[in-house]
Structure 1
Amino acid sequence: MKPSLMLRALLPALLLSSIAAAQPPSAQAPSSQPLSAQPPTAQAPEAFIADYASKHQFNGTVLVKQRGEVVYSGSFGEANRAFAVPDTRQTKYRIASITKLFTATLVMQLVEQGRLDPERTIATYLPDYAGPAAQRVTVHQLLNHTSGIDNMDKVTSAEQAISEGIPAYQHPWSSDQLLARFASGPLVHEPGKVFDYNNGDYVILGKIVERLQGKRFDEVLNERILQPLGMTDSGMLYQHDIVEGLASTYFMRDDLGRLVNDLPVYPENWYAAGAMYATADDVLKFSDALFSGRLLKPATLATMFTPGLDDYGYGLWSYTTKVDGKPYRVVKRPGQIMGAQSQLYRFLDEDLTVVILSNTGTTDLDEFVAAIGKRYVTARQARR
């Protein structure tokens, strides 16, 4: 069984990292019938999106850009259910583990500057790091989740989270405390040998970015990515901040049979692993800049996109999918924290990007994003 499948089997959608959404389409579980049995040409892409959103209770925004042009934009459902505020293209969403791709980009910018070597260990850049991984785990292994460090997410069921709470996220830990308490544990795997999706790996990377830049992670993020790209509707979430236009998030309580408010948490505790918010347009700005080489050089991007264990590169999954029997290179960055779900999906050979941001845990976005992408590829092939 692939590690991503194993994790999906163990952890329900409530759980608090991107694990539930973090798998390539080859590992997806279909809803009613396999996608392979659904002809991509049966519906125009726009009609398919509307139909799927309705049938699968999708709440959120979908944005599709192909060959330099936004070819689809649509929002569904409500950003705030108590006040019946609709989701719109301007709605800000929690983007969960898409944050990891921003963090990986900041790390690789340091590599390009000659200030960081991915093959050096944690202790090289954090000499006061107290965990046993200090001299054994490399930056490369943090980036591709093969560090072997004990996983910081110990909650294994929705019932446990509801009854016992979520220790890493329901106390106001500082990033230094997160590092010491949740990302400095024992080595449970030999470094480099096992893929284990661990938010703690990206907590460590965030602290390395801070140490080398001499600034807080959010300041580096603003200076290196958000401000240069004009991403004015994006940032890091903090419990003490009120973000205008931010969607409330809701998850499905199976025991109650309805959506409920997400559990109370300190969103900043996801830190460099998952604490960002953005609009769909801002995620697209980041995607455009990243994949066009404006943030990193082509050779650096090639390194990021090189699949390791579980087809994971640096901050994203990288693999080959097929549309009408033809192979296409795809990279994918999903995210999920309770009701917050997100997808950044890119066909590298087709200049096609699909962004999906959602504020309810009601829809299988792995299936949805793959189906959208395949339909737009097929539609373009038909026009040739």
Structure 2
Amino acid sequence: MKSSLRVLLLSVLLVSPMAAAQAPATVQDPEAFIADYAGKHRFNGTVLVKQRGEVVYSHSFGEANMALAVPNTRQTRYRIASITKLFTATLVMQLYEEGKLDPERTIATYLPDYAGPAAQRVTVHQLLNHTSGIDNMDKVTSAEQALTEGIPAYQHPWTSDQLLARFASGPLVHEPGKVFDYNNGDYVILGKIVERLRSKRFDEVLDERILKPLGMADSAMLRQSDIVKGLASTYFMRDDLGRLVNDLPVYPENWYAAGAMYSTVDDVLTFSDALFAGRLLRQATLAKMFTPGLDDYGYGLWSYTTKVDGKPYRVVKRPGQIMGAQAQLYRFLDADLTVVILSNTGTTDLDEFVAAIGKRYVVAPAAKR
């Protein structure tokens, strides 16, 4: 199988966000393009577009459960993978605004019992933008390896404390601040910092600080033991078999603050609207989050300038992928345009899809539907 498990499991971008967004624009109607692209690329999931304060497009494709032929709908709950990181970064920056956390202080400042060699050398800032240099927690590098050996970090019922100790406290393999290395372990550490400073479990903080205030009743952290009504089953492509198969058995809670959430397109949009409108963080704090570092990565998202028909636009983007679970939150900061895509199959290049949708709505605004 050609697919890398690190791509399948860890929400790593397959193409650079800027390259995807800079494809030449077309006059094709956005809705016609979405339908055509979805059909040609076997897209399975829901697309939602909001422009100038109005939802101008929403449509679902394929099935939430293939065995039972249950269709995807706008109400379907999907695993949102690393969109979770943007929630975590928001919780961290709320602590910053309250004066309880300084991004330039080290891990040991907030987790004095952290045993890794990064304790006194790696800052919260470096965790947020994936330049910690801490040994990456994900060692499985191919689907073949996962199928024959398993995935240690995700197929054993670890507690968050065990995840921290076993998978996020390794040696420094890069000088802190010098190399971008997308590492779920960075956000495991951040989740534990949130817990320590709030004196509550991460899911409780998430619920109290974001989900309940925004009325996001269709969003929460996943646990293997929970039966979640309306949650889409997930399927990834086995290249050696040439077909979709059920995702590998895992404990979804092991993605913790790095990727364990589920949500709907409307709830993700609600979060996006509140975040970018300054209802969760002040605008000055958002500017800090959106400042691109290495690989154009800010705090919990990619931030860059792209061009559509020669005109520059500031874009922020938060993708996610864990096997068949794929997700995209894509916002044009200068055009009041947001695209949310949630999917339960690993069949479509959502980096390309979301960028193409965005540029079409920018150049050809649609009427409310």
Above 0.5 in TM-score? yes
1:68 equivalent to 2:53? Answer: yes
Distance 1:236 1:309 in 2: 29
1:123 equivalent to 2:123? Answer: no
Report the Cα offset of residue 162 of structure 1: 1.0
Q: Which residue of 2 aligns with 1:331?
A: 316
Is residue 305–residue 313 contact of structure 1 (8 Å, CA) maintained in 2? yes
Is residue 6–residue 142 contact of structure 2 (8 Å, CA) maintained in 1? no
Structure 2 counterpart of 1:246, one-letter code: L
Q: Which residue of 1 aligns with 2:9?
A: 16
Report the Cα offset of residue 13 of structure 1: 7.3
Deviations 1:318-338 (A, max 9, x none): 001110000000000000000
Gaps of 5+ in 2: none
Distance 2:143 2:160 in 1: 25
How many equivalent pairs are there? 366
Q: Which residue of 2 aligns with 1:57?
A: 42
1:202 equivalent to 2:187? Answer: yes
Give the 3 Å change call, closer, same or farther, for CA 14–111 of structure 1 in structure 2. Answer: closer
Give the 3 Å change call, closer, same or farther, for CA 131–13 of structure 1 in structure 2. Answer: closer
Deviations 1:278-318 (A, max 9, x none): 00000000000000000000000000000000000000000
Q: Which residue of 2 aligns with 1:373?
A: 358
1:246 equivalent to 2:231? Answer: yes
Distance 1:221 1:12 in 2: 28
**Superposition TM-score, scaled by structure 1 size:** 0.93
Distance 2:177 2:366 in 1: 40
Is residue 341–residue 358 contact of structure 1 (8 Å, CA) maintained in 2? yes
Is residue 13–residue 319 contact of structure 2 (8 Å, CA) maintained in 1? no
Aligned partner of 1:213 among 198, 201, 224: 198
Is residue 329–residue 338 contact of structure 2 (8 Å, CA) maintained in 1? yes
Structure 2 counterpart of 1:69, one-letter code: E
Structure 1 counterpart of 2:136, one-letter code: N
Greater Cα shift, 12-21 or 318-327: 12-21
- Give matches, 1:1-384, under 5 Å: 11=4, 15-21=8-14, 23-26=16-19, 35-36=23-24, 39-41=25-27, 43-380=28-365
Is residue 104–residue 314 contact of structure 1 (8 Å, CA) maintained in 2? yes
Report the Cα offset of residue 163 of structure 1: 1.1
Report the identity percentage: 85
Structure 2 counterpart of 1:376, one-letter code: Y
Is residue 22–residue 334 contact of structure 1 (8 Å, CA) maintained in 2? no
Report the Cα offset of residue 40 of structure 1: 1.9
Distance 1:25 1:253 in 2: 28
Structure 2 counterpart of 1:284, one-letter code: L
Is residue 61–residue 357 contact of structure 1 (8 Å, CA) maintained in 2? yes
Distance 2:199 2:209 in 1: 13
Distance 1:123 1:14 in 2: 31
Is residue 239–residue 266 contact of structure 1 (8 Å, CA) maintained in 2? yes
Is residue 22–residue 333 contact of structure 1 (8 Å, CA) maintained in 2? no
Report the Cα offset of residue 112 of structure 1: 0.1
Give the secondary-structure state (helix, strand or coil) at the position aligned to 2:364: helix
Structure 1 counterpart of 2:162, one-letter code: Q
Give the secondary-structure state (helix, strand or coil) at the position aligned to 2:213: coil
Report the Cα offset of residue 193 of structure 1: 0.3
Distance 1:266 1:291 in 2: 32
Is residue 15–residue 155 contact of structure 1 (8 Å, CA) maintained in 2? no
Deviations 1:212-254 (A, max 9, x none): 0000000000000000000000000000000000000000000
Give the 3 Å change call, closer, same or farther, for CA 186–58 of structure 1 in structure 2. Answer: same
Give the 3 Å change call, closer, same or farther, for CA 57–168 of structure 1 in structure 2. Answer: same
**Superposition TM-score, scaled by structure 2 size:** 0.97
Distance 2:188 2:304 in 1: 25
Report the Cα offset of residue 23 of structure 1: 3.8
Structure 2 counterpart of 1:234, one-letter code: S
Is residue 188–residue 258 contact of structure 2 (8 Å, CA) maintained in 1? yes
Deviations 1:157-196 (A, max 9, x none): 1111111110000000000000000000000000000000
Give the secondary-structure state (helix, strand or coil) at the position aligned to 1:54: helix
Report the Cα offset of residue 26 of structure 1: 1.5
Is residue 330–residue 338 contact of structure 2 (8 Å, CA) maintained in 1? yes
Report the Cα offset of residue 10 of structure 1: 8.7
Distance 2:121 2:79 in 1: 34
Give the 3 Å change call, closer, same or farther, for CA 163–27 of structure 1 in structure 2. Answer: farther
Is residue 13–residue 338 contact of structure 1 (8 Å, CA) maintained in 2? no
